[in-house]
Structure 1
Amino acid sequence: MPTRDRLLGVTVAVLWGLNFLAIRVGLDHFPPFFFAGLRFLVIAVPVILFVRRPDVPVKWLLLYGFGFGFLQFAFLFAAMNAGMPTGLASLVLQSSAPFTIILGALLLREKVSRRQILGITVAVAGMCLIGYDRAQAASLIPVVLTLLAGLGWAFGNLGNRLARGEEPMRSMLWMCVVPPIPMLALSTVVEGPTTGWHALATAFSWDGWPALAGLAYIVLLGTIAGSGLWTVLISRHPAGVVAPFSLMVPVVGIAGAWIFLDETPSVLSMVGAAVVIAGCLGGMSTRRRTRTAATTVEPLRV
């Protein structure tokens, strides 16, 4: 991989890692489900108007959008709103990688190598360390919600994989069309029919502008720019070469939360984080049988 593409990979990791800080800023103003729905609504409207729908089966596009867009972010935003530290949220969401491997084996009859099984085991051990540490300091519920977000992302990965689209960027954009209606309906039921819209109206003020800035970052830099650059890298190189850059995302997320939000993770949580990253990295590594063989690993996108 040339230096230019390595720098692009690092850029994507930084964009996605800082995305968690933008989510935190937005949640300080918006209710979680409304904010998640608004995030996708802002993308969905221009996509419907100006982007041609990808030539993939609708059912798999719906599964992709419902898992990756609705389930993942409903649980993630609820977890962070319930007190899940920003940096640890970026780390625990990595559970989507072992979840994807397990669901692929159970539902798609995909082969799981011994190396992947070992990687999953190590990653789960790291998650248990983090869960134990959080249970001593605060409620375990935010950790559980974040794990459910990782599981929802894994279902979205299966939908994306089954769609087998030849235009991944177009599929990603049309995936954003699926979550707004169910997410805003959930917001209406749980948060109230006017709560989110009132928060949006008050966001156009001096006190509310950071939330709008966070929303703009998530849409423009986190989703469109980050995913666009990632798609370019995946088109140029084997997925197994590109995927390790996603493991830098929680490193950036934890460091950013420490610097800007004064979130200092405990020693046990940092040990757990290192164990999770080691497990994910080990699980995505495979021995090449041919010069072109590579492991397909879904990227971390938030």
Structure 2
Amino acid sequence: MQGRDILLIITIMVIWGVNFVAIKMGASEFDPFVITALRFFFAAFPLVFFIQRPQVPKRYFIAYGTIFGTGVWGMAACSNSFGLSAGITSILMQFDVLTSVLVGALIYKEKITKQMAVGMVIAMVGLTVSIAYTNGNITPVGLIFIFIASLCWPLASIVIRQSGSTTPFAFTIWGMVFAPIPLLMLSLLMNGTEGIVTTFSHWNSHAWFSVLFQAYPTTVFGYWVWNKMTLKYPMALIAPTTLMTTVFGLIGGYVIYDEHLTQVQWVSCALFLAGIVVVVYPRKIRNTVSVSRSVSTES
């Protein structure tokens, strides 16, 4: 791998790690659905006017916008508003590797190898211990939301795969056009007009940072670079680099919010990530995981 590309990948991992702090900054102070809707609005507009629409039926854009916007990042934002720390969120989002394996087995009849099964067991043991020894950085409701988010990762990937699109970056941008709608509808359903009104009436610099950081460095720049890297290098080489987001997520949570892990959690989270590594590397990356990592990213 070229030195310039290594630097670009590390830069993206830093951005995606800090992004979990940006999500918490918005979700802990404002309606998480509104903040996430604005993230995708700014990410899609005006860029969508300069990117040719992939020639796929509109239903795929709608499905992707709903699953990726609401299912992944709407739920991730909710996990923060219900007490999950930014650092823990960055770790538990890696759970999408395990859900991708399970979805691949259930839908595409892909084989779960012995190595993958061992890695999944290791990861689950680490996760269980982290939950048992929480210092308040993991809450039951927050955990439910992050599990929903991790389950939606491979589902969003399936939508792109089924669409037949050969331009994943363009597809994601056009899909984001439809992401704000279900998010705002969910906000109205859960909070009435109060969530929207309160968010805009208390809008401040934290809201601007949260929305714009998620929209541009994380989503637009991050997707653009990551998709270029996936076209240039084998997924088996670059997919494990997304684990670096957890390091920068933990650092960001500590610096901005003074988040701490218990001593047992440090060990158990390391065990969880070690299990993830066993699952994804070294082996031939399967289609579902490849698509998940190449077009959905860890932002």
Same fold (TM over 0.5): yes
Identity score, percent: 26
Contact 1:97-1:297 within 8 A present in 2 as well: no
Match of 1:115 in 2: 115
1:88 aligns with 88
**For the residues of structure 1 that align with 2:215 and 2:248, how far apart are their CA atoms?**
19
Residue 135 of structure 1: CA displacement? 8.4
2:121 equivalent to 1:124: no
The match for 1:276 is 272
* Alpha-carbon offset, residue 91 of structure 1: 0.6
**How many angstroms apart in 1 are the aligned matches of 2:64 and 2:159?**
4
1:298 is matched with: 292
Who is 2:216 aligned against? 220
Deviation at 1:222, TM superposition (A): 0.7
In structure 2, what is the Cα distance between the partners aligned to 1:224 and 1:180?
16
Q: CA RMSD in A?
A: 2.3
Unaligned runs of 5+ in 1: none
Change (3 A) 1:245 1:139: closer
The question of whether the paired residues in 1 share the 8 Å contact of 2:36 and 2:74 is answered with yes
Offset from partner CA, 1:172-203 (integer Å, 9 cap, x none) = 21221232111100111212224324422442
2:173 counterpart of 1:173:
yes
Gaps of 5+ in 2: none
What residue in structure 2 maps to residue 233 of structure 1? 229
Report the Cα offset of residue 137 of structure 1: 7.3
Q: Any idea what the Cα deviations from partners look like across 1:149-174, whole Å, max 9, x if unmatched?
A: 11122211222333342111111212
Count of residues in Structure 1 that have an aligned counterpart in Structure 2: 294
Residue 118 to residue 297, structure 1, CA distance change in 2 (3 Å):
farther
For residues 282 and 297 of structure 1, the distance between their equivalents in structure 2, rounded to whole angstroms, comes to 19
String of CA shifts for 1:208-251, please: whole Å, max 9, x gaps. Answer: 11210221111110111111111111111011111111000011
Deviates more, 1:154-163 or 1:91-100: 154-163
Q: Which residue of 2 aligns with 1:104?
A: 104
Tell me: CA distance 1:159–1:297, structure 2 relative to 1, closer, same or farther (3 Å).
closer
Question: Are 1:159 and 2:174 matched, yes or no?
Answer: no
* Shift in alpha-carbon separation, 1:62–1:107, aligned structure 2, 3 A: farther
Aligned-pair CA distance for 1:134: 3.1
The corresponding residue for 2:40 is 40
User: SS of 2:29's equivalent?
Assistant: coil
3-state SS of the aligned residue for 1:53? coil
**Within the alignment, does 1:23 sit opposite 2:19 as a pair?**
no
The DSSP-based 3-state class of the residue aligned with 1:184 is helix
AA at the equivalent of 1:222 = T
Structure 1 CA distance, aligned partners of 2:18 and 2:241?
15
Q: Distance in 2 between matches of 1:12 and 1:284?
A: 20
Question: What is the CA–CA distance in structure 1 between the aligned matches of 2:278 and 2:36, rounded to whole Å?
Answer: 32
Q: 2 CA distance for matches of 1:281 and 1:161?
A: 24
Paired with 1:106 and 1:288, the residues of 2 have a C-alpha distance of: 19
The answer to whether residue 260 in structure 2 is matched with residue 257 in structure 1 is: no
Q: Which residue identity lines up with residue 252 of structure 1 in the other structure? A: F
* Cα shift readout 1:128-163 (whole Å, capped 9, x = no counterpart): 222222388764221122111111222112223333
Please list the CA deviations of residues 224-280 of structure 1 after superposition, one character each: whole Å capped at 9, or x if unmatched. Answer: 111111111111101111111100001110111112210011122222221121111
Amino acid at match of 2:298: R
